[in-house]
């Protein structure tokens, strides 16, 4: 439950903050910056549930020394002149959303990006708005499918900041939207546009970020919501059960994660004689290391090495007009008690 100590609705001339929250990124594609980022990320109890007294020595003496250089090299492959793709796209989404809300008659709405790990941090943006006397804030995690590892972690960060304030703003949180019509419309348009340019492959693979199987057994709805999105998108595209599959990527550690895993699935498809695949990552709002490096480089190569002929990656929604439209409508819907267009 988000902390709230300012129950009165805003007056028409009061500004409202809309914070687009994404996972985060290191400040630079260097081992030192990656180490700082991974230290924060992997110290989150939502991510690694081991007791800190057990986990922190492992993290600092074994995991970080091994991963910081390798991860930095991966970030170097996707880094742009503007910076980290994830941060660049999230900031552009925020800028576009603010404009589109204004065009829809939603005046006095400030929209910014906040990263759960790294910069610009959620706390730093909340602090800036608090100094500007913005007392009503809508938190919009860019995770359509709810998970304790993502959405709840964002909520933790907001609550942690609010607890330091003698009078915190009023917060609202959009917790999930896996079957939102605007979101699905944006995904459908991206796939159909891809097909118009490249033709349709034999298989559409929808790859979502994975979480440990234990989380699902403890009640996390993430897997079910990913499958809900996959099934709804496949239905919109007119695909049969044999023409698409939903998979899960980015496994970390030795514990079982939810299956099927993305790379082994693509390798198996190639060995079975599937020559062309289209791959989309519906759970990622912005292209990032998990999509650009892991999927479009590592998994692509694995598919080709096993005999596949064409691996066609469909970019994330990024700044697609249909996606900004979906975000605008979501925000307007959730702000209706505070502000009418």
Q: How confident is the model at residue 7 (pLDDT cuts 50, 70, 90)?
A: low
User: Is the pLDDT reported for residue 4 higher than 70?
Assistant: no
CATH of 181-313, picked from 3.90.1150.10, 1.20.140.10, 3.40.50.1400, 3.90.226.10, is: 3.40.50.1400
Distance CA 178, CA 146 (A): 8
HEC string of 308-322 equals: CCEEEEECCCCCCHH
CB 253 within 8 A of CB 287: no
* pLDDT for the residue 340: 81
Distance CA 263, CA 319 (A): 27
Distances from the Cα of 280 to the Cα of 224, 248, 316, angstroms = 18, 12, 7
Q: What is the mean pLDDT of the chain?
A: 96
Q: Residues 68-97: what's their mean pLDDT?
A: 98
110 is in an annotated binding site: no
CB 247 within 8 A of CB 229: no
SS3 304: helix
* pLDDT for the residue 299: 98
290 is in an annotated binding site: yes
Q: How confident is the model at residue 8 (pLDDT cuts 50, 70, 90)?
A: low
Q: What is the pLDDT of residues 289-309, one digit of tens each?
A: 999 999 999 999 999 999 999
């Amino acid at each position: 439950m988000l902390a709230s100590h300012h129950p009165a609705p805003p007056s028409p001339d009061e500004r409202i903050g809309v914070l687009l929250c994404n996972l985060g990124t290191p400040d630079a594609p260097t081992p030192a910056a990656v180490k700082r980022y991974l230290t924060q990320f992997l110290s989150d109890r939502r991510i690694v549930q081991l007791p800190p007294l057990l986990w922190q020595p492992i993290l600092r003496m074994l995991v970080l020394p091994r991963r910081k250089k390798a991860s930095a090299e991966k970030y170097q492959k996707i880094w742009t002149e503007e910076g980290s793709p994830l941060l660049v796209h999230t900031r552009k989404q925020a800028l576009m959303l603010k404009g589109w809300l204004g065009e829809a008659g939603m005046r006095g709405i400030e929209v910014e990006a906040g990263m759960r790990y790294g910069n610009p941090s959620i706390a730093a943006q909340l602090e800036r708005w608090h100094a500007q006397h913005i007392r009503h804030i809508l938190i919009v995690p860019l995770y359509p499918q709810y998970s304790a590892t993502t959405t709840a972690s964002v909520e933790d960060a907001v609550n942690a900041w609010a607890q330091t304030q003698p009078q915190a703003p009023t917060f609202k949180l959009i917790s999930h939207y896996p079957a939102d019509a605007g979101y699905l419309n944006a995904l459908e348009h991206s796939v159909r546009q891809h097909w118009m340019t490249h033709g349709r492959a034999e298989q559409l693979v929808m790859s979502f970020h994975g979480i440990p199987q234990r989380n699902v057994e403890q009640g996390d709805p993430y897997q079910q919501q990913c499958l809900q999105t996959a099934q709804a998108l496949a239905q919109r595209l007119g695909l049969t059960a044999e023409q698409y599959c939903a998979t899960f990527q980015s496994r970390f550690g030795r514990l079982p994660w939810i299956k099927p895993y993305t790379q082994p699935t693509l390798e198996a498809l190639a060995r079975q004689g599937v020559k062309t695949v289209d791959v989309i990552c519906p759970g990622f709002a912005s292209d990032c290391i998990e999509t650009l490096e892991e999927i479009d480089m590592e998994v692509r190569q694995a598919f080709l090495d096993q005999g596949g002929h064409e691996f066609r990656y469909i970019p994330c929604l990024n700044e697609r007009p249909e996606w900004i439209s979906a975000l605008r409508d979501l925000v307007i819907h959730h702000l209706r008690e505070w502000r009418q267009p």
